[in-house]
Amino acid sequence: MTDVSTPPNRGSAATVPVGTVLSLRDIRKSFGSLNVLDGLNLAVYPGEVFGFLGRNGAGKSTAIRLIMGITRSDSGQINVFGQPLQDDVVGIRQRIGYVAQDQNMYPWMTPRVLARFVRGFYPRWDEQRYWSLVNDFELPAKRRIGTFSGGMKAKLALTVALATRPELLILDEPTAGMDPVARREFLDLVREQTQRDGATTFFSTHLIDEIEAVAERIAIVESGQTVYDGALDPLRNSVNRWSIPMSLYVPGALPGNFALDSLRVLSEGERQGRWHMTLQFSETTLATTEIVLNDGWRHDVMSLEDVFIALVSNA
């Protein structure tokens, strides 16, 4: 049951949604015989922090390279700021702040030299903001970047991105290699700065806790396809797990008064003396059905990570 939902009155998966900052429709990309993206769809709206979630190799970085115009899709439509990306790749990129997974900055540069190097590429470059962020992030202005830690490099990349006064901030696995303390600090900085600017943020990661910390809506990608596109709470509610002691389990039985056409079985099997079933429901079913469990069945609590694993394992 693929759920590619859109907010009310904002369009559908078949058309470019109205009022989007970024939309991908039926994007396909192959490298030789390898299909990396196979009909990817998503929509990002103004002012939101959008989480792009998928395990490593799911196609997230390829999608971002397409959005940035670094490479081109084989088919499909990418719209940024309401216009097709291919109409003005350079102009659109100048309106985007980008923090890559790998911070490929010249190691001999200092933050002072880096500012002089990059500011000519961005018409909206804000020198005062750059130095304010350098100070806020406690980055040594005269120290060579090659001596910076991974967390310091990520902060510097975020500083450069925010100093361009971006209308869209794209973060591609920016906390890779950071320790938990540095990760949390970086996420706090992202949340504070985006709330301050009201900028739209596209945050790509495979880490569930990062999504929960910053995102309002998410897309889950698996095998190059959109498994889910929507808010977090409906996602949590749509996937549920129940269990029953093996002594009471009847093969083929469902946990409650569910119609077979309203659900999808994501997983089932025996574990630690109980039969477990994980089911995905449509939002309509959950909203209109009063669930009555059959004798012996127990509703088991699922974390967002549990939900994510259940979905991508059955994509």
DSSP string, the chain: --EE---TTS--TTSPPTT-SEEEEEEEEEETTEEEEEEEEEEE-TT-EEEEE--TTSSHHHHHHHHTTSS--SEEEEEETTEEGGG-HHHHHTTEEEE-SS----TT--HHHHHHHHGGG-TT--HHHHHHHHHHTT--TTS-GGG--HHHHHHHHHHHHHHT--SEEEEESTTTT--HHHHHHHHHHHHHHHHHHT-EEEEEES-HHHHHHH-SEEEEEETTEEEEEEEHHHHHHHEEEEEEETTT--TT--SBS--GGGEEEEEEEEETTEEEEEEEE-HHHHHH----BPTT-EEEP--HHHHHHHHHTT-
- Do 48 and 137 lie in one domain? The reply is yes
- Do 72 and 142 lie in one domain? The reply is yes
Domain boundary at 165, 199, 230, which?
230
What gap in Å lies between CA 23 and CA 42, rounded to an integer?
Answer: 6
Domain boundary at 201, 230, 259, which?
230
- Do 133 and 268 lie in one domain? The reply is no
pLDDT tens track of the chain, all 315 residues? 344 443 333 444 445 566 899 999 999 999 999 999 999 999 999 989 999 999 888 899 999 999 999 999 999 999 999 999 999 999 999 999 999 877 788 999 999 999 999 998 999 999 999 999 999 889 999 999 999 988 888 889 989 999 999 999 999 988 877 778 878 888 888 888 777 777 899 999 888 888 888 888 999 999 899 999 888 888 888 899 999 999 999 998 889 888 777 888 999 999 999 999 999 987 666 656 677 888 999 999 999 999 999 988 876
The structure's pTM equals 0.84
Kindly report the CATH number assigned to the domain that includes residue 52.
3.40.50.300
- Do 12 and 109 lie in one domain? The reply is yes
- How do 225-231 and 3-4 pair as beta strands? parallel
- Do 142 and 260 lie in one domain? The reply is no
- Do 137 and 247 lie in one domain? The reply is no
Domain count for the chain: 2
Whole domain around residue 292: which residue ranges?
234-312
Domain boundary at 186, 210, 230, which?
230
- Do 224 and 295 lie in one domain? The reply is no
- Do 94 and 221 lie in one domain? The reply is yes
- Do 149 and 286 lie in one domain? The reply is no
- Do 169 and 274 lie in one domain? The reply is no
- Do 63 and 95 lie in one domain? The reply is yes
What gap in Å lies between CA 78 and CA 198, rounded to an integer?
Answer: 23
- Do 140 and 41 lie in one domain? The reply is yes
